[in-house]
């Protein structure tokens, strides 16, 4: 069969437009009569709002309106799995992500000046920033039903019996950090109302169909009156799967009957979108003297931050990948997503599969050292191949190229594969 992709160097479809400057990003769009929005955000991660006075801001010449929670005609929240991210905070803030209000003015400068005139008073509340602390009964409760948003158990074989068979056991704890996608183009959007009375937004997004659903739900209008136009996207890496400017811009455009542009600077971009989940991972792995893995126990705790976003899916994937590409017959994995007052976490490349390898591959090296085996040898003796069964019971009946990949990698290191197997 002729190979038509691998080894070729095809044109990137949007490459010429981007390198020539012809690609249109939301910031590049200017419509007649367009006005500008500036978001005011919380200064505290957990607080009760005792005063929100926008009168001075609205009195500034050039300001058209300041939107708050009371102006949201539909559901005051968004989120694909659970719409718990407030469009505007209503009486309480749970994270410094939280938007308090949106100032809309004739120019960007006026909007920013007016945003400084919004008066907010808070009553600070106890906050929690470590998911392990948030799991305790004594932790501040961020949800009525507790801070644990998700718990997945994976059980295979008999892990106690497996450890009893082990001749070497390694236990270690690992932690990964919160990571920002830091895409090149900060969030921006331009919303308007077309000649049919439909709301249209031009925005760089990964999920135009879900954006449409969530915009319509917040605005209290049918989905067929919302149109989402995806412009050129200056990077996303999962960070645009949750919305930022979309509902704010559409709400303002719908009420004011004028095009509304919102552009975040880098600082606000960092505050507004999701991050990669930090994870705490406690691992215990046992092996026989000849290097066969016999048991693995892992507890993975992911910091979901203040809102759910994609946390159940991401911690589910972390659990499924907790054993790595290795055959282990006795497995016990507990994976949790836990709410804290940190900025909310969500999708990022790897989607939960990126954190566990740091733990299980480090454990493999530690085991190899204890067993006095070459790290390649230990991995080879346990590596998935066609017909292997994963910890979740899946039979891998096709496309298992791990051992072939290991052989090629070993060659590049100059290792004698025949001696190491």
Q: pTM to 2 decimals? A: 0.94
Tell me the CB-side half-sphere exposure of residue 306, using CA atoms within 13 A.
23
Q: pLDDT tens digits, residue range 280-297?
A: 999 999 999 999 999 999
Tell me: the pLDDT tens digits for 82-116?
Answer: 999 999 999 999 999 899 999 999 999 999 999 99
For a pLDDT cut of 90, what percent of the chain falls above it?
Answer: 94
| 37-62: pLDDT as tens digits | 999 999 999 999 999 999 999 999 99
- The number of residues in the chain equals 421
Task: Please name the fold of domain 131-180+275-419.
Answer: Aldehyde Oxidoreductase; domain 4 (3.30.365)
CA distance 328 to 228: 47
Element (H, E) at 119: strand 119-124
pLDDT score of 215 more than 90: yes
- pLDDT (0 to 100) of residue 3: 62
Name the pLDDT band for 117 (thresholds 50, 70, 90): very high
- What tens digit of pLDDT does each residue of 226-261 get? 999 999 999 999 999 999 999 999 999 999 999 999
What percent of the chain clears pLDDT 70, i.e. is strictly above it?
Answer: 99
Alpha-carbon distance of 118 to 54, in angstroms, equals 5
Q: pLDDT averaged over the chain?
A: 96
Residue 6: band (very low, low, confident or very high) from pLDDT cuts 50, 70, 90:
confident
Neighbours of 27 (CB within 10 A): 16
In the predicted structure, residue 35 carries a pLDDT above the cut 60:
yes
Q: Between 3 and 145, whose confidence is greater? A: 145
What's the confidence (pLDDT) of residue 114?
Answer: 98
Q: Domain map of the chain by residue range?
A: 131-180+275-419
Q: What is the pLDDT of residue 46?
A: 98
* Of the candidates 96, 111, 109, the residue with the CA atom closest to the CA atom of residue 41: 96
Query: Reduced to 3 states, what is the DSSP secondary structure of residue 228?
Result: strand
| Contact by Cβ (8 Å): 46, 94 | yes
């Amino acid at each position: 069969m002729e190979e038509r992709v691998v080894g070729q160097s095809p044109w990137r479809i949007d490459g010429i437009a981007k390198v020539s400057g012809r690609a249109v990003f939301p910031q590049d769009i200017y419509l007649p009569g367009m006005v500008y929005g500036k978001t005011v955000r919380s200064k505290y991660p957990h607080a009760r709002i005792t005063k929100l006075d926008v009168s001075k801001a609205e009195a500034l010449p050039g300001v058209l309106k300041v939107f708050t929670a009371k102006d949201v005609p539909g559901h005051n929240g968004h989120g694909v799995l659970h719409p718990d991210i407030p469009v505007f905070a209503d009486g309480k803030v749970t994270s410094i992500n939280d938007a308090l209000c949106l100032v809309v003015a004739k120019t960007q400068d006026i909007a920013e000046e007016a945003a400084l005139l919004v008066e907010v008073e808070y009553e600070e509340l106890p906050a929690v920033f470590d998911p392990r602390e948030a799991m305790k009964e004594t932790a501040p409760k961020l949800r009525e039903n507790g801070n644990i948003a998700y718990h997945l158990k994976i059980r295979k074989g008999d892990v106690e019996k497996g450890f009893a068979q082990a001749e070497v056991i390694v236990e270690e704890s690992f932690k990964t950090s919160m990571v920002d996608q830091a895409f090149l183009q900060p969030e921006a959007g331009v919303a308007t109302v077309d000649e049919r009375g439909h709301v249209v937004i031009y925005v760089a997004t990964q999920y135009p169909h879900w954006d449409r659903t969530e915009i319509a739900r917040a605005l209290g209008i049918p989905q067929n009156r919302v149109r989402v136009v995806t412009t050129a996207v200056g990077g996303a890496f999962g960070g645009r799967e949750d919305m930022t400017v979309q509902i704010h811009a559409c709400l303002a455009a719908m009420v004011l009957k004028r095009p509304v542009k919102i552009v975040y600077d880098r600082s606000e971009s960092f505050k507004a979108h999701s991050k990669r989940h930090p994870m705490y991972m406690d691992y215990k792995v046992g092996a026989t003297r000849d290097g066969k893995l016999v048991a693995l126990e892992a507890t993975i705790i992911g910091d979901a931050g203040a809102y759910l976003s994609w946390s159940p899916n991401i911690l589910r994937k972390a659990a499924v990948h907790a054993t790595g590409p290795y055959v282990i017959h006795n497995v016990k994995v507990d994976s949790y997503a836990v709410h804290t007052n940190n900025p909310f976490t969500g999708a990022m490349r790897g989607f939960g599969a990126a954190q566990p390898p740091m733990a299980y591959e480090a454990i493999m090296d530690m085991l190899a050292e204890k067993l006095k085996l070459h790290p390649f040898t230990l991995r080879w003796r346990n590596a998935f191949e066609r017909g292997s069964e994963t910890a979740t019971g899946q039979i891998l009946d096709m496309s298992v190229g791990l051992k072939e990949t290991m052989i090629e990698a070993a060659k590049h290191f100059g290792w004698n594969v025949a001696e190491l197997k």
